Structure 1
Amino acid sequence: MAVRSDDRTTRRPEANNFKIALFADLHFGEESWTEWGRRQDSNSLRVMSIVLDKEQPDFVIYLGDVITANNIMIKNASLYWDEAVSPTRDRGIPWSTVFGNHDDAPFEWPLEWFSQITGIPQLHCPPSKGDEECSFRGTTRLELMKNEIRQNTLSYSKIGPKTLWPSVSNYLLKLSSSTDSEAAIAFFYFFDSGGGSYPQIISNSQVKWFQNKSKEVNPDSRVPEIVFWHIPSETFKKVAPKLDKLKNCIGSIFLEDVAAQEAEMGIMRVLEERPSIKAVFVGHNHGLDWCCPYKKLWLCFARHTGYGGYGKWSRGARILEINEKPFSLKTWIRMEDGHLHSEVLLSS
């Protein structure tokens, strides 16, 4: 099988199965002016490298909060973004990205920078960066996406239609058959769930975009569809398991409440009513890694992959495996120490 974009395809078309690694909440560049921050980025690179070498995925999805832009003070935050995707790129594995709430967040001045004597903060540029490269303007979603696409032939990310809002990481990829490159095995939909420079929502215009796009490529809902975004919807709160009642949920950490989008604009209602939707995958909550059944689909959190961001839980990555004949969608979590757990069949 192979992922297809408008004008290109991934390799390994002869395989009957297709494996995807989800890297969520890496938070590169967090406290970038400190030794702690640089160490966290190094640790995150190690986690991704271990997962990639053990799982040998065909594709990687960066599920938002690739960087902590509110801690990055250089003109081009893409330097940190580029470092974050380097383990995947260096192994020749194609990938795609969606945005999280920290990826283009405005810079936040640390209080400890303010001198009690002068009251004037000192610049804390990253190592090897001169003062002239320091900037607190930030890097927009559009700039980040353009830089990723322009600099990486392995990136399958796309800039969304200008009519959408949030507009940047809304796009569709097709997983094609091993025997017929035009035949679809599954469709992957990517949404920008806001945050940073946008409200934390999936807007009504995005809902309409999905309805039109899905009707165009999969009018009879015959082909399975899988959805990816960063911030969970309100529906995730409805199915969230309690400590005394897991509700048939599969996972290993259930240690915080769901931090959902600011409002529900209709995306879940549309997904619930569409029989071809098999699962929705999100990040954002570092202390959750569960998959819960909801009506005829599954709602799943990834696993916190990066050492940046809050929480001291062990790091890892959610893995998806799609089989073509017969179709099935299975997922599990691969940990940094090599341990595998929480395997569940989501569709068959």
Structure 2
Amino acid sequence: MRYSLLADSLLYPNSSNPAAPLSFSAAGTFQISIFEDLHFGENAWDSWGPQQDINSVSVLNRILDSESPGLVVLNGDLITGDNAFIENATVYIEQIVGPLLQRNLPWASAYGNHDHQFNLSADDLLAHEQRWPNSRTQKMVDTPNAGTSNYYLPVYGNNCTDSDACTPELLLWFFDSRGGARFQERTADGQQIGLENWVDTSVVDWFQRTHAALAHRHQKVLPSLAFVHIPTFASLAFQHTGVHAHHEPGINDDVPLSPQAQGWCPDGTTNDGSCDYGGQDVPFMRAIASLPGLIAVFSGHDHGDTWCYKWDAQLPNMSVAGNGVNLCFGQHSGYGGYGNWERGARQVHIGKAQLDALEADTWIRLEGGKVVGKVALNATYGRDWYPETENTKTSCPSCNYTAVNVSPRLDTAKTIGQGEL
């Protein structure tokens, strides 16, 4: 079912109310449901494309019926923009947010490489989201190469009646790792132009300045969580050392995983066959590994990886040492995109009593209802023993992924410098 903008005020009257600040519950807890790699809008001209989207809406409904989040995070690749038409590329957001509007839930997005495409502008996607007050997605960095979804959200205590006068209990940081293709841009010979796939240095500068300003304003370091679609090279470096099924429970099928700056040369040119990784995410890694208060960074992009790692050392082939921040993958949430791992969504639950210790609890709720990979991101995570995560699969019997009928209207020109998941 597609949710009409015109009908929203009738179907979901609460969605037209002004958005209240995010806050902890009366019980002193705050929970986030992270959906990633939904990949709506694939092959709309074939019957299996719309069927995938119907199945993905079912995933959203089933998980939200089982969990009670205070915020839903859409952590990248909401839409497979390279498989959509420019005339309707943003309308798939209406299918995604329908289940959220039904429950009057707020959401916030961090855009991914498939949300930046020749036929899909991330700025247009943001404008479409902001038609509803439930959307908390913003753009706080306006530099030319920043991307779109770079911003932060404060979360206040339950007893805060004036957010301007209250100190946030928690900060949520969102970063645009870009990637994909530049919107409606071509080279002189007609080829699409790839978009850099890392958090830009202008965003890193904004992050560091804003983090320092907030600490100065509130006279304390505020605990925080971060969301970025493409993981950093630190996750790949750790994967090379070995992901332990009981210390870092989760699926580890995407080996090697695909980090930021993959496929780009150190000088910023696109991959010419000699460059696998350009190192452009080093400034972002230095920031997340050095700024105090950051509990965890959550990523997607690699559909077959669902583990968390405590980055507390210098890993091989890296110049940046971790400070104990947890780097986590979620679960492939949509029926679009590659892979048939059982769809699901990572949950993050944090109590006020955990804030001072910079701790959080997290688990993955699967489409079938089962909870897997439940861990405590505390001081001993990485040494604690947990049950191994069962690698279950789901399928879409009516989705024939081998019968792809290419639409003659879609631009299929090669994208220079893309080459991403």
TM-score (norm 2): 0.70
The amino acid that maps onto 1:207 is V
Q: Deviation per CA, 1:200-255: give whole Å up to 9, x if none.
A: 01111111010011011124662211110101111111112666755932213444
Instruction: Give the one of 297, 302, 322 matched to 1:285.
Output: 302
Match of 1:214 in 2: 211
Q: Residue 299 of structure 1 corresponds to which residue in structure 2?
A: 327
Instruction: Note the C-alpha offset of 1:161.
Output: 2.2
Q: Look up the match of 1:340.
A: 371
Deviations 1:284-309 (A, max 9, x none): 00000000111111000010000000
| Structure 1 alignment gaps of length 5 or more | 1-6, 107-137
One-letter identity of the residue aligned with 2:75: L
Identity %: 34
C-alpha contact 1:207 1:266 (8 A) present in aligned 2: yes
Contact 2:24 2:30 in 1 (8 A): no
Spell out the pairing of 1:1-348 with structure 2 (5 A cutoff).
8-10=20-22, 13-106=25-118, 138-149=119-130, 151-163=131-143, 165-180=145-160, 181=163, 182-196=166-180, 197=182, 198-219=195-216, 222-240=221-239, 245-246=244-245, 248-262=247-261, 263-295=280-312, 296-327=324-355, 328-347=359-378
Instruction: Kindly provide the amino acid, as one letter, of the partner of residue 152 in structure 1.
Output: W
Alpha-carbon offset, residue 104 of structure 1: 2.7
- 1:290·1:301 contact (CA, 8 Å) conserved in 2? yes
Q: Does structure 2 retain, via aligned residues, the 8 Å contact 1:252–1:342? A: no
Could you tell me which residue of structure 2 aligns to residue 129 of structure 1? none
Is the 2:75–2:111 contact (alpha carbons within 8 Å) kept by the matching residues of 1? yes
RMSD over aligned CA atoms reads: 2.1
Contact 1:21 1:318 in 2 (8 A): yes
Q: Distance in 2 between matches of 1:148 and 1:191?
A: 17
Give deviations 1:42-95, integer Å, cap 9, x for gaps. Answer: 110011100000002111000000000111125131211221121112211000
Q: Hey, what's the Cα distance between the residues in 2 that align with 1:38 and 1:20?
A: 28
The answer for the alignment partner of 1:112 in structure 2 is: none
Give how far 1:344 is off: 1.1
Give the paired residue count. 311
Partners of 2:23 and 2:30 within 8 A in 1: no
**Aligned partners of 2:247 and 2:292: how far apart in 1?**
21
Higher mean alpha-carbon deviation, 260-269 vs 292-301, is at 260-269
Conserved in 1, the CA contact under 8 Å of 2:24 and 2:157?
A: no
User: Relative to structure 1, is the Cα distance of residues 294 and 12 closer, same or farther in structure 2, using a 3 angstrom cutoff?
Assistant: closer
Summarize deviations over 1:249-282 as a string: whole Å, max 9, x none: 2213444321011132411112111231111100
Partner AA of 1:208 in structure 2: D
Q: 1:18 to 1:330 in 2, by over 3 A?
A: same
1:17 maps to amino acid = T
**Contact 1:241 1:247 survives alignment (8 Å):** no
Q: Please report how far the alpha carbon of residue 326 of structure 1 lies from its aligned counterpart in structure 2 after TM superposition.
A: 4.2
AA matched with 1:236: S
Closer/same/farther in 2, CA of residues 346 and 245 from structure 1, 3 Å limit: closer
Contact 2:154 2:168 in 1 (8 A): yes
TM-superposed deviation, 1:147: 1.6
Counterpart residue type for residue 92 of structure 1: N
Secondary structure of the residue aligned to 1:172 is: strand
User: Residues 292-335 of structure 1: CA distance to partner in whole angstroms, max 9, x if unpaired?
Assistant: 11111100001000000000111100000011134341100000
- Is the 1:234–1:260 contact (alpha carbons within 8 Å) kept by the matching residues of 2? yes
User: Per the alignment, do residues 39 and 243 of structure 1 end up closer, same or farther by CA in structure 2, a change over 3 Å counting?
Assistant: farther
